[in-house]
Amino acid sequence: MYNPPMQVGASAAARTEVTRRRLLQSMMLVTAALALPALPPGALAAPLNADQKTTLLRVARDIYPHDDLLDDAPYQAVLDAILVEAESSPEVADLLSKGLADLEQRAQHIYKANYIAISKPEEREGVLRTIELTDFFQKIKGGLLMGLYNNKTLWPKFGYDGSSWETGGFIDKGFDKIDWF
């Protein structure tokens, strides 16, 4: 009969898991507590104004920050695609405007400031963590994941080579060269 021991590591992992779950649950409570009253049925979400668009760009840059590596363009390209979608989809428009309003309310609640006016990046990340499981946040995060990291034009900046068969692979291009140890 073998009964694997409960290891320190294992129970620590289990503890982290419990903590994580509690955290998620409490976040959802916060989400519920701070949720805005629903718009009356049939009310059309207004398109985003310039300030909201600026906030959205800040949010995008805070989701995957590359302060020195990337300018605004690739972030903006992802957001533009979502904004175009919002033009024909009331659901997406609604998701954006309500998501932003919710975010601002949280920023006010925690820091008494607009999101964009919170100067410390880690504090902005903290605010975003409280909405990370929302559809609004995941829509932007999902777009960025593909738009930044599955974007061939940006790969050189990250030092990733991408497709190599056209040029014969790396067999004659130093696939085995290493000198730092």
Partner 1 sequence: MTAKFDLNDDSLVVIVGSGAGGGTMANELAQKGVKCVVLEAGNKLSLDDIENDEWAMFSKISWLDKRFSAGGWHGARNHPNLPAWIVKGLGGSTVHWAGVSIRFQEHEFKMKTTNGEVVGANVIDWPITLAELSPYYDKAELKMGTTGEVTGMPHLPWSADFKVLAEGARRIGYSKITAGPMSINSVERDDRPACQQIGFCMQGCKLGAKWSTLYTELPKAQATGNCEVRTNCMVLMIEHDKTGKVTGVVYADAEGKTQRQKARVVCVAGNSIESPRLLLNSASNMFPNGLANSSGQVGRNYMTHMTAGVYAVMPGEVHMNRGTAVAGIVRDEAHNDPKRGFVAGYTIEKLALGLGFLSAFLVPGPTGWGRKVSGALEKYKYMSGVWICGEDLAQEQNRIELHPTEKDQYGLPAPVVYKTDHPNDTNMRNHSYQQMEKIYNALGSTEIYNLPAYPASHNMGTNRMSEKPRDGVLNKWGQSHDIKNLFVSDGSQFTGSGSPNPTLTIVALAIRQAEYLAGEMQRGHV
Contacts to partner 1 by CB under 8 A: 1-7, 9-10, 13-14, 63-66, 69, 121-122, 125, 128-129, 132-133, 137-138, 141, 145-146, 148-150, 155, 158-165, 168-171, 173-181
Residue matched to tokens 């730092």: 180
Q: At its nearest, how many Å lie between partner 1 and the CB of residue 135?
A: 10
169 in helix, strand or coil? coil
Q: Whose Cβ is closer to partner 1: residue 4's or residue 37's?
A: 4
Question: Of 102, 90, 104, which is closest to residue 55 (Cα–Cα)?
Answer: 104
Q: At its nearest, how many Å lie between partner 1 and the CB of residue 1?
A: 5
Question: Of 147, 149, 154, which is closest to residue 79 (Cα–Cα)?
Answer: 147
E strand or H helix at 137: helix 135-149
Buried b (16+ CB within 10 A) or exposed e, 65-78: eeeeebeeebbbeb
Q: At its nearest, how many Å lie between partner 1 and the CB of residue 80?
A: 20
Q: Whose Cβ is closer to partner 1: residue 51's or residue 132's?
A: 132
Q: Whose Cβ is closer to partner 1: residue 40's or residue 166's?
A: 166
Q: How far apart are CA 8 and CA 13, in angstroms?
A: 8
Q: Whose Cβ is closer to partner 1: residue 9's or residue 37's?
A: 9
Up-side HSE of residue 55: CA atoms within 13 Å toward CB?
A: 23
Q: At its nearest, how many Å lie between partner 1 and the CB of residue 35?
A: 18
Q: At its nearest, how many Å lie between partner 1 and the CB of residue 165?
A: 4
Asked if 108 and 114 touch (Cβ cutoff 8 Å), the reply is yes
Q: At its nearest, how many Å lie between partner 1 and the CB of residue 61?
A: 10
Q: Whose Cβ is closer to partner 1: residue 54's or residue 167's?
A: 167
| DSSP type of residue 117 | G
Q: Whose Cβ is closer to partner 1: residue 10's or residue 39's?
A: 10
Encoded amino acid at 9, one letter = G
